[in-house]
Chain A
Amino acid sequence: MNGSRTDSRKLIVEGLWHNNPIFRQVLGICSTLAVTNLVLNTVVMCVALIFTLSLSACTVSILRTLTPRNIRMMVETLIIAFYVIIVDVLLKAYWPEMSGNLGPYVGLIITNCIVMGRCEAYGNSNPPVRALMDGLFNALGYSFVLLIIATFREILGMGTFLGISMPYFGGPRWDKWIIMVMPPGAFFMLGIVTWVFRSIEIRMENKNK
C-alpha cells in the first residue's frame, strides 16, 4: 500500500515537473505554438489531449501482453488515432464553432509526440492503472504550461482573457502586441517559460545538495 502511494506520488511529480512534456522533454511543440493564442482554444485542446493521452496509454497497457513487439508501433498509432477521431467527431457534432477554431490541430494530436512517447515509454511496460495515471499527469503537465503561455499571449496580444476585456490591457493605454497573437509570439513565450521553469528547477536541485 505504502509502496503504491509513493509510486503514484512519483508519477505526479514526474509528469507535472521533473519530466514535464513541454519544458523538460520538449515534445508536442507544434500544438503549443499553434493553439495558444486564445485561452479558450487552449483549454479545449488540453482537455482533448488529457482524454487522448490517458486513455490511449491505458489501452496500450491493457493490450501490452498480447501485442507482438514488432508491430507495437502500428497498434499504438491505431489506438491513438481511434481516441483522437472520437474527440474530433464529438467537437464537430456538438461544438462546431470550436471545431472550426482549432482547425486541423485536433486531428494532429495523433502525431503529437507526447502521446506516442508516453505509450512507448510507459504504457508499453506498466499495468493499466499506472499507465492511465502517467498519461493523465503528463497531459496535465502539458496543459498547465500551455495555459500559462496562452494567458500571456491573449492578455498582451488582445487585451482579453477568455474573451473578457481586461482592465488596463483592454483599454486604450495599452498598445496591443500583435506579435503575441502571431506564431512568433508563441516561440518567444515558450522560450521564456522554459527558461524560467528550468532556472527554478536548477535552483531547487542546488538547494537539495
Chain B
Amino acid sequence: MIRKKSWFPVLYMFCVTAFFSSIVIGFTRFTNERVEANQMLAFEKAVLTVLPGLYEDKLSRMELHRKFTESVDEPDAFSGGAYTLKQGGKIIAYALPISGRGFWAPIRGLIGIKADGRTITGIAFYEQNETPGLGAEIAKDSFRNQFRGKEISDSGKPINIRRPGSILSKSDVHAVTGATQTSNRVENIINTALKKWRTEVTKNTETAE
C-alpha cells in the first residue's frame, strides 16, 4: 500500500502544500488590486483633507480618486517634496508628506501649509499603529483640528506640542492625554519635515528670483 512507503509523507506534504498554496495565491491575486487601491486611496484621502476646501464627507472611492488626480499636483522642483494645490498656475497650498517612528510602528501622514509657507491648513495620518484610545487619538478630528490656522514659528521649534491644559501661543497645540510618547514623536516628525521643507523652499525661491 502506498501509505506504508517511506516517501509517502513527503509526497503527501507536497500535495497538501501545493493545494492550499494555490488557493491562497489565487485569492491574493484576486484581491491584490483592491488592497493596493486601498493603500493609495488612504494616501490620497489624507492629501485632500489637509489641503483647504477639497475634502467632503461621503465621497465615493472613485470620486475621491478623481478629485485627487484633477486638483492635486505632484511634487515638483519648487515645492520641496510637497504636493501642491494650484489655482491659475499659482500655488495656493502645499501638502507635505511627513513620516517617522511612532511609539509602536512608523507614522506616515501629511501636513497642509498655505502658500505663505507659515499657516497650517490641516494635518492627517494615513498610516499609524499607536495604542488604540491613547496614541491613536492623533488620527481623530479632536487632535487634528487643533492644527488648522496655526502658524509655523520662525525661532525654536516650528510647532510645539504642549502638555494638555497649558496655555497655547499661535504655534502650539495640545498633546494627547496619556500619550506623551506618541505626542513627542509626532512633534519630532512634524518639525523635522517642516525644517527641511522650509530650507528647501527658500533655497528654491532664491535661485528662482
Contacts and interface: CB of A to CB of B under 8 A. Distances in A.
Interface of A: 37-38, 41, 63, 66-68, 70-71, 74-75, 78-79, 82, 85-86, 89-90, 92-94, 96, 100-101, 103, 154, 157-158, 178, 181-182
Contacts of A96: 35, 38-39, 42
Contacts of B3: 66, 68
Interface stretch (B23-31, B52-60, B72-80): B23-31
A53 B138 CA distance: 35
Interface stretch (B13-21, B148-156, B157-165, B201-209): B13-21
Contacts of A101: 132
B35 A89 contact: yes
Contacts of A157: 133
A63 B20 CA distance: 13
Nearest to A59: B20
Interface of B: 3, 8-9, 12-13, 16-17, 20, 23-24, 27-28, 31, 34-35, 38-39, 42, 104-105, 127, 129, 131-134, 177-178
B193 to A, nearest CB: 22
Most chain A beta-carbon contacts within 10 A, residue among B23, B38, B104: B38
A103 B132 CA distance: 11
Contacts of B16: 63, 75, 78
Q: Which A-B residue pairs are the 4 nearest by beta carbons? A: A93-B31, A181-B133, A96-B38, A178-B178
A96 B35 CA distance: 8
A182 B134 CA distance: 8
B9 A70 contact: yes
Contact of A68 (B9, B38, B104, B129): B9
Given A66-B12, A71-B13, A78-B17, A38 B35 contact: no
Contacts of B42: 96
A20 B201 CA distance: 62
Contact of A158 (B12, B17, B39, B133): B133
B8 A82 contact: no
Nearest to B126: A100
B37 to A, nearest CB: 9
Contacts of A66: 3, 12
B25 to A, nearest CB: 10
Contacts of B105: 103
Contact of A82 (B20, B104, B134): B20
Contacts of B104: 103
Given A68-B12, A75-B13, A86-B24, 9 more contacts: A37-B133, A68-B8, A78-B16, A82-B23, A89-B35, A94-B34, A100-B127, A103-B105, A157-B133
A31 B35 CA distance: 25
Nearest to B136: A101
A181 B176 CA distance: 14
Contacts of A63: 16
A78 B42 CA distance: 32
Contacts of A70: 9
A86 B31 CA distance: 10
Contacts of B134: 178, 181-182
Contacts of B132: 37-38, 41, 101, 181
A65 to B, nearest CB: 10
A93 B38 contact: yes
Given A71-B13, A75-B16, A78-B20, A92 B35 contact: yes
Contact of B28 (A37, A79, A89, A94): A89
8 contacts: A38-B133, A63-B16, A71-B9, A78-B20, A89-B27, A92-B38, A158-B133, A178-B134
B13 A74 contact: yes
